[in-house]
Chain A
Amino acid sequence: MSELQTDTRVSIMNQMPEAGVTARSALYFSQAATQPVFGPGQAQVFLWEDALRGQLVIRGDAGNTDFAKGVSSALDLALPGQLSSSVSATMALLWIAPDEWLLLCDLEQAFAIETRLRDALTGHYAVINVSGGQTQIRLAGSAAASVLQKSMPYAVSDAHFPVGKVVTTALSKTQATVRRIDSTDWELTVRRSFADYAWRWLTDASREYGLHLGQPEHNEN
Chain B
Amino acid sequence: MRQTNRLSDGGRIDRSKPMTFSFNGNQYSGYEGDTLSSALIANGVNVIGRSFKYGRPRGIVAAGADEPNAIVQLGATEATQVPNVRATQQPLFDGLVSQPTSGWPSLKFDLLGFSGQLFGRALPPGFYYKTFMFPQAAWKFYEKHIRKAAGLGRSPTEPDVDEYDHLNQHTDVLIVGAGPAGLSAALTAARSGAHVILADEQAEMGGSLLSSRSRINGAEASQWVADTLQELAGMDNVLLLPNATVNGYHDHNFLTIHERRTDHLGDRAPENQTRQRMHRVRADWVVLATGAHERPLVYANNDLPGCMLASAVSTYIRRYAVIPGHSLVAMTTNDAGYQAAFDWQDAGRNVVALVDTRQAPTGDCVEEARRRGIRLLIGHAVIEAKGSTRVSAARVAPLSEDGQHLTGPAEKLACDTIASSGGWSPAVHLSCHTGGRPVWNDEVIGFVPGESLQRQSIAGAIAGTFDLAGCLEQGTQQGAEAARQAGYEAKPASLPTVEEPATGNAMALFCIPHEQRISRAPKQFVDFQNDVTAAAIELATREGFESIEHVKRYTALGFGTDQGKLGNINGMAIAAKSMNKTIAETGTTIFRPNYTPVTFGAIAGRHCDDLFDPERHTAMHDWHVRHGALFENVGQWKRPWYYPKPGETMQQSLDRECLATRNGVGILDASTLGKIDIQGKDAREFIGRVYTNAWAKLAVGKCRYGLMCGEDGMVFDDGVTSCLGEEHFLMTTTTGGAAHVLEWLELYHQTEWPELEVYMNTVTDHWATMTIAGPDSRKLLAELTDDIDLDKESFKFMDWRQGTVADVPARVFRISFTGELSYEINVPANYGLDVWEALFEKGERYNLTPYGTETMHILRAEKGFIIAGQDTDGSMHPYDLGLDWAVKEDKPYSFIGKRGMKREDCLRQDRKQLVGLKTKDPSIVLPEGAQAVDDPKQPVPMTMLGHVTSSYYSANLGRSIAMGVIRGGHQRSGETVYYPLSDGRVVEAEITSTLFLDPKGERQNV
Contacts and interface: CB of A to CB of B under 8 A. Distances in A.
Interface of A: 1-2, 4, 6-11, 13-18, 20-26, 29, 37, 52, 57, 59, 99, 124-126, 128-134, 146, 149-150, 152-155, 157, 160, 172-174, 191-194, 196-197, 200-201, 204-205, 207-208
B700 A205 contact: no
A134 B280 CA distance: 29
Contact of B611 (A4, A154, A192, A200): A200
Contacts, number: 177
B809 A17 contact: yes
A7 B607 CA distance: 48
Nearest to B609: A204
A126 B680 contact: yes
5 contacts: A22-B831, A23-B831, A24-B831, A59-B761, A157-B170
B765 A133 contact: yes
**Chain B interface: which size bin?**
35 or more
B658 to A, nearest CB: 28
A200 B606 CA distance: 11
Interface string B608-639: 00110111111101100000000000000100
Contacts of A150: 165-168, 606
Contact of A128 (B613, B726, B761, B830): B761
Contact of B168 (A29, A133, A152): A152
B725 A133 contact: no
Contacts of A124: 680-681, 757
Nearest to B756: A124
B834 A22 contact: yes
Contact of B830 (A1, A25, A146, A201): A25
Interface of B: 165-170, 195, 272-274, 280, 282, 606-607, 610-611, 613-619, 621-622, 637, 672, 677, 679-681, 700, 724-728, 757, 759, 761-768, 787, 802-804, 806-809, 811, 828-834
A126 B672 CA distance: 24
Given A23-B830, A24-B830, A57 B617 contact: no
B833 A24 contact: yes
B807 A130 contact: no
Contacts of B829: 26, 132-133, 192
Nearest to B274: A208
Given A59-B761, A197-B615, A17 B802 contact: no
> What 5 A-B pairs are tightest by C-beta distance, nearest first?
A133-B766, A132-B829, A11-B724, A18-B807, A133-B765
Given A11-B802, A132-B768, 7 more contacts: A4-B787, A13-B811, A22-B833, A37-B272, A132-B830, A149-B169, A154-B168
A11 B828 CA distance: 15
A18 B810 CA distance: 12
A131 B619 CA distance: 13
B830 A52 contact: yes
B192 to A, nearest CB: 15
Contacts of B725: 6-11
Contacts of B807: 17-18, 20-21
Nearest to B614: A197
Nearest to B828: A132
Contacts of A134: 765-766
Given A21-B808, A150-B167, A157-B170, A8 B765 contact: no
B178 to A, nearest CB: 22
Contact of A173 (B280, B613, B726, B806): B613
A192 B615 CA distance: 11
A155 B254 CA distance: 13
A130 B802 contact: no
Contacts of B762: 133
Contacts of B767: 132-133
A14 B679 CA distance: 18
B768 to A, nearest CB: 7
A194 B802 CA distance: 28
Given A126-B761, A133-B829, A173 B617 contact: no
Nearest to B725: A10
A7 B469 CA distance: 82
B636 to A, nearest CB: 8
Contact of B272 (A23, A26, A133, A207): A207
Given A126-B761, A157-B170, A13 B809 contact: yes
A201 B165 CA distance: 12
A196 B763 contact: no
A193 B607 contact: no
Contact of A133 (B273, B728, B764): B764
B265 to A, nearest CB: 15
Contacts of A204: 606, 611
Contact of A172 (B610, B611, B680): B611
Contacts of A14: 809
Contacts of B811: 11, 13
Given A9-B727, A208-B272, A132 B170 contact: no
A21 B806 CA distance: 8
B614 A15 contact: no
A96 B195 CA distance: 29
B647 to A, nearest CB: 28
Contacts of A24: 619, 830-834
A134 B830 CA distance: 10
Contacts of B809: 2, 4, 13-17
B553 to A, nearest CB: 36
A45 to B, nearest CB: 12
B170 A192 contact: no
Given A192-B829, A204-B611, A11 B616 contact: no
A198 to B, nearest CB: 8
B606 A201 contact: yes
B727 to A, nearest CB: 5
A119 B438 CA distance: 67
Given A23-B831, A133-B766, A155-B170, A201 B611 contact: yes
B43 to A, nearest CB: 36
B618 A193 contact: yes
